[in-house]
Structure 1
Amino acid sequence: MSSVLFASVVRVGDGLPLSASTDYEHDRELHDTRKHLKALSKKLPHFPDRCTFASGPYNVNFTSALGVCYMMVCLSSYPSVLAFCFLDELQKEFLVTYDSKRVAAAVRPYSFIQFDVVIQRTKHRYNSPRSLSTKINMADMQTELKLRPPYRLTPDDLQAANGFSPSRSSAKYKGIAPSQTLEPVTLPGAVSCVLSVLCGGLNLLRGVHAIESVLQCFLFAYFSVWRNVKSFLALALVCVCNMYLFQLRNVWQILFHVAVAACMTLHTHLRRPLGKAPDYNV
């Protein structure tokens, strides 16, 4: 029996199968494993880029890169190094054959079914490990797997609605960096949180006072300007009224002098003596 049983290429964004091996072995457990592989392909965005899922006597291994996932089903006894070397070789061949634009434009399942020729050829090589001539690549892959081992999925990951099990608070994914999990808050951490909150409150209070000072300065400037404007208007009104009254007083003085002159002229004419009448008969 072959060690590498099935392989497929899937688009990560929506789980659309782009290509797959066309051979099929009538085995119930293998059929169930392929169902698990199909279910996993629908949740690829929620998983790390390198994972392993155990399904009875078989393993589902997959790796993702540039929006495309390369998946395979093999016997559980098959070495992980060979399995991921197989996926790595598929990835290189697929990237050389198809570009990202063609992958994004694919709308029908198995649009690149002709890639099955490459899958079959690679399967045949990896089902006979003694004939492999990629020892250097295998050594590199072994080193990479030691540094970044694949994340082992569980049935909870498979059954969860969004790729994460609701019964677990967090998933420990392994990567190049050490895995990190949330830990309970220690006393120094609690003190630091309290001090941070207090500092934030003080900064907020300082901000309120700064805004209040700015508003006070603005209101003071506004009322000062308005007071100066009122003073100017009042002074201008007084000047206008004074000029008007001054002109009115001058008019009354002129009328008064005219009246006095008229009275004096009339009085002079009234006091002048009457002369004799001229004699026209001489």
Structure 2
Amino acid sequence: MSMVLFALVVRVIDGLPLSATTDYEQDKELQEAKKHLKAFSKKLAQFPDRCTLKLAQYTINFMTSLGVGYLMVCTPNYPSVLAYCFLEELQKEFIITYDPERMRNVMRPYSFIDFDTFIQKTKQRYNCPRSLSTRINLADMQMEIKLRPPYELSPEDLLVANGVSLRATSKYKGIAPTQLLEPATLSGLVSCVLSVLCGGLNLLRGVHAIESILENDDENFNYVIAFFLGTAACLYQCYLFAYFSVWRNFKAFLALALICLSNMYLYELRNVWQILFHVAVGAFMTLQIRLRQPLGKAPDYNV
């Protein structure tokens, strides 16, 4: 039977437990899962904002938002979309119920234990999915999980949570490895098509330049290099538009500079309009790369 077994609310900065379900389970494996849950609660700042850890008999899911972490233990067959909808409901109610300033200043564990009443009611509803009063946000959550699936934790991550220092933990600093970009706009797709077209034209001219060199030894081989550098710059801009990269905007400007320089060198082989076309497409592509930002959390992040 698929069900939610345990839930915990903690403060992210130090892992202080704020509230939790108060039922007492005797199952040893569940008690072990709770230990892992509490270990993760002290390291939430090191992990992406939404994670899943699959154990032999249980699954741990957790998410963080506005300095608070929401963690749960459920059976392995419990649907992921329901698990994160459950955590989302806890998040929304907790934000509404308690003042953020009070949450930051509490010193004692379980200072908001009265929130357990809401956790228990929500847990009962999600353990009987047919009785859920609303499914309005399920479609949104399914789409969110499809576009940005939870980060699946590994045994190495479990060691980190339990206090073992690994150099690999540095990958959690900054943007998560699953970072996605905002949906592409029509203008962005058009810029990609134009950029691929420019790259193809440069490649074709470069091949013809090689053929000309083979037939006529006095041709300048630097033209071939300029054509292929232009091709590489155009295609690299398409890559930067499609995928997240560190210093992405800076790399896009470098690619644009390379496009400009290569076309300046090819001034004798191209007319002014051809050069302006290539430079304009490169500039347009650079603008689209800059406009397409990584997906980020809004203050009311719903995951």
Match of 2:179 in 1: 175
Q: Distance in 2 between matches of 1:47 and 1:118?
A: 27
Gaps of 5+ in 1: 182-188, 193-282
Q: Map of 1:100-139 to 2, 5 A cutoff? A: 100-139=100-139
User: After the TM superposition, which segments of 4 or more aligned residues of structure 1 sit over 6 Å from their partners?
Assistant: 161-164
User: Residue 166 of structure 1: CA displacement?
Assistant: 2.6
Q: Which residue number in structure 1 is paired with residue 160 of structure 2?
A: 160
How far off is 1:167 after superposition?
5.5
1:163–1:102: structure 2 CA closer, same or farther, 3 Å change rule? farther
Report 1:175-194 matches (<5 A): 175-177=179-181, 178=243
Inter-CA distance 9–168: structure 2 relative to 1 (3 Å threshold): closer
Query: Retained in 2: the 8 A contact 1:147–1:175?
Result: no
Cα drift, residue 7 of structure 1: 0.3
**Which whole-Å deviations, capped at 9, do the CAs of 1:160-187 have from their partners, x for residues lacking one?**
2778743688467223335669xxxxxx
Asked if 2 retains the 8 angstrom alpha-carbon contact of 1:43 and 1:163, the reply is: no
Alignment CA distance shift 1:70-1:169 (3 Å):
closer
Taking structure 1 as the reference length, the TM-score comes to 0.60
Q: Partner residue of 1:199?
A: none
Describe the shift of the 1:179–1:7 C-alpha distance in structure 2 as closer, same or farther (beyond 3 A): farther
Write the letter of the residue equivalent to 1:147. Answer: L
Shift of residue 154 of structure 1? Answer: 1.0
Separation of aligned partners in 1, 2:170 and 2:245: 13
Q: Secondary structure at the match of 1:119?
A: helix
Q: Deviations over 1:188-243 (max 9, x none)?
A: x9xx9xxxxxxxxxxxxxxxxxxxxxxxxxxxxxxxxxxxxxxxxxxxxxxxxxxx
- Between the aligned residues of both structures, percent identity stands at 59
Cα shift at 1:158: 1.9
1:34 corresponding residue in structure 2: 34
Q: Please list, as runs of the form range in 1=range in 2, the aligned pairs for 1:1-282 lying within 5 A after superposition.
A: 3-160=3-160, 165-166=166-167, 170=171, 173-177=177-181, 178=243
Equivalent residues of 1:157, 1:164 under 8 A apart = no
Q: Deviation digits for residues 104-124 of structure 1, max 9, x if unmatched?
A: 011000000000000000000
Deviations 1:91-133 (A, max 9, x none): 0100010011010011000000000000000000000011113
Is the 1:50–1:64 contact (alpha carbons within 8 Å) kept by the matching residues of 2?
yes
- Count, aligned residues: 185
Within 2, Cα distance between the matches of 1:72 and 1:50? 12
| 1:220-268 C-alpha deviation (Å, 9 max, x unpaired) | xxxxxxxxxxxxxxxxxxxxxxxxxxxxxxxxxxxxxxxxxxxxxxxxx
CA–CA distance in 2 between the matches of 1:175 and 1:145?
13
User: Relative to 1, partners in 2 of residues 1:37 and 1:179: Cα closer, same or farther, differing over 3 Å?
Assistant: farther
Q: Distance in 1 between matches of 2:81 and 2:52?
A: 12
Extract unaligned runs of 5+ from structure 2.
Answer: 182-242, 247-254, 259-303
Alpha-carbon distance between aligned partners in 2 of 1:126 and 1:26, rounded to the nearest angstrom: 22
TM-score w.r.t. length of structure 2:
0.56
- From the superposition, tell whether residues 88 and 156 of structure 1 become closer, same or farther in structure 2 (CA, over 3 Å): same
SS in 2 for 1:135: coil
**CA–CA distance in structure 1, aligned partners of residues 180 and 135 of structure 2:** 23
User: Quick one: distance in 2 between partners of 1:99 and 1:77?
Assistant: 35
Distance change >3 Å, CA 173–CA 121, structure 1 → 2: same
Conserved in 1, the CA contact under 8 Å of 2:160 and 2:169? no
**Distance in 1 between the 2:155 and 2:143 partners?**
28
**Which amino acid in structure 2 is aligned with residue 78 of structure 1?**
Y
Q: Is contact 1:10-1:70 (8 Å) kept? A: yes
Mapped to 1, the partners of 2:82 and 2:169 lie a distance apart of 32
Q: Secondary structure of 1:102's match? A: helix
